[in-house]
Amino acid sequence: MLLVSSRQTPVHSIETNTQHLTSDTQQPTTNIQYPTPDIGHRTPNNHQPPTPLTPKDNIKIIQPTSGWQLIDFKELLRYKDLLYFLTLRGIKARYAQSVLGVAWAIIQPLFTTVIFTIVFGNLAKIDSDGIPYTLFSYLALWPWNYFSGTLTESANSLIQNANMITKVYFPRMVLPLSSILSKLLDFLIAFVVVIGMLIYYQIMPGWGLLVLPLLIIQLLMCSLGMGMMLSAMAVKYRDVKHALSFVVQLLLYAAPVVYSTTAVPEQYQKFYVLNPMVGVIEGFRAAFLDRPIPWEWIWPGTIVALILFVFGMMYFRRMERIFADVA
C-alpha cells in the first residue's frame, strides 16, 4: 500500500501483522511509514543539464609554456613550502649517516688550502700580493667551492627528481633553486675558518665588509644562472653530467684561486675580468684584508652575471615543457 503525505512526498508502507501468543485476541495491523528521500526521478521531464562553470569557480588550467618567458615569481611564492622542504631534504641527505656531519664543510676547503699552499705557495712560489698564501687561497676557495658545488648539484637536480616531474605539477624551478639554497649552509659554516685565520694572522677587516652582500648577490646570480642552464641541458643531453666534473676543474684555473689577477698580463685583463668569479674572489679578498675594493674587476663580472641569470632563467622556462617527456 502506498501512502502520500501532506507534502506530497512518496513513502513506502511496510505492513506487519503481529499476534499475541498467550491471548485469543488478535492485535490490530500496524502500518509503519518510512519517508523516502526526495531525490527526484530521472525522467526526461525533470532532468536538468549541469550548470556551466564560471570564473568564480576558481579553476586553474595548466598549460605548457612556450617561447622565452621570465619566472613567475608569484607561482614560486605559492610553492614556498615545497622549496623549504626540498632545501631541508638536500641538507639532511648530504650528511645522512655521516660521522663528521657538517664538519666536512670545513675539512674539504681547509685540506685543499693546505695542498695549494704546499704546491703553489712553497714549491711554485706564486706571488700572493704580500698576503700569507694560506689566507690568500682560502679566501678564494671559500666562494669558489660554493660556486662549483651548486653547479654540480643543480645540474643533476632534475634528473634525480624525475619521478616528481613526471607525476605531479609544480614549478620546476624549485628543484635547482633548492639545490643552490641547501649549499648556503656549507658556505656559512666555512666562514668559521675565515674568522680563525683572521685572528691567527692578526688582520682586522675594514669598511670593505659592507660590499660583501653585493658580492654574495653576484655569486648567487652567477650560480643560479649557470645552474638553471646546465640543469635544463642535462635533462635532454646526458653528456652534461659526465662533462661537468671535468669542466669545473678547468674553471678553477680560469679564476684567480691559486694566483692573483695582477699575474694576468694587463692587455688580457679586460677580457679576463668578464669572468664573474674574478670580481667575486678579488672582492672577497679586498673586503676581509682591508684593501681597496677593485671595482674595475667587479662591475664587468656583475653585468655578465646578470646576463647569465636572465638568460638561464628564460632558457629554463623555454625547455620546461619537455622535462616530463625526456626525464
C-alpha distances in Å from residue 13, one per residue of 19, 27, 181: 19, 18, 71
> At a CB cut-off of 8 Å and minimum separation 6, what does 150 contact?
179, 180, 183, 223, 224, 227
Backbone angles phi, psi at 6, to 5 degrees: -70, -20
Q: What is the pLDDT of residue 318?
A: 82
Rounded CA separation 225/154 (Å): 10
pLDDT digits (tens, 9 = 90+) for 96-114: 777 777 778 888 888 999 9
Amino acid at position 273, single letter: V
| pLDDT at residue 327 is higher than 80 | no
| Predicted pLDDT of residue 66 | 54
* SS3 sequence of 220-258: HHHHHHHHHHHHHHHHHCCHHHHHHHHHHHHHHHCCCCC
Q: Give dist(CA 325, CA 166) in Å, integer.
A: 8
Element (H, E) at 35: strand 30-35
Q: What is the pLDDT of residues 53-92, one digit of tens each?
A: 555 555 655 555 555 566 777 877 888 888 899 888 888 8
What pLDDT was estimated at residue 6?
43
Q: Find out whether 62 and 169 touch, Cβ atoms under 8 Å.
A: yes
State the chain's mean pLDDT as an integer: 79
Q: Report whether 218 contacts 276 (CB < 8 A).
A: yes
Of residues 90 and 12, more confidently modeled: 90
The pLDDT, as a whole number, for residue 16 is: 41
Each residue's pLDDT tens digit, 189-204: 889 999 999 999 999 9
**Rounded average pLDDT over 163-189:** 85
- Residue 34's DSSP bridge partners are 12
* Domains of the chain by residue range: 69-83+98-326
> What percent of the chain is predicted at pLDDT more than 90?
32
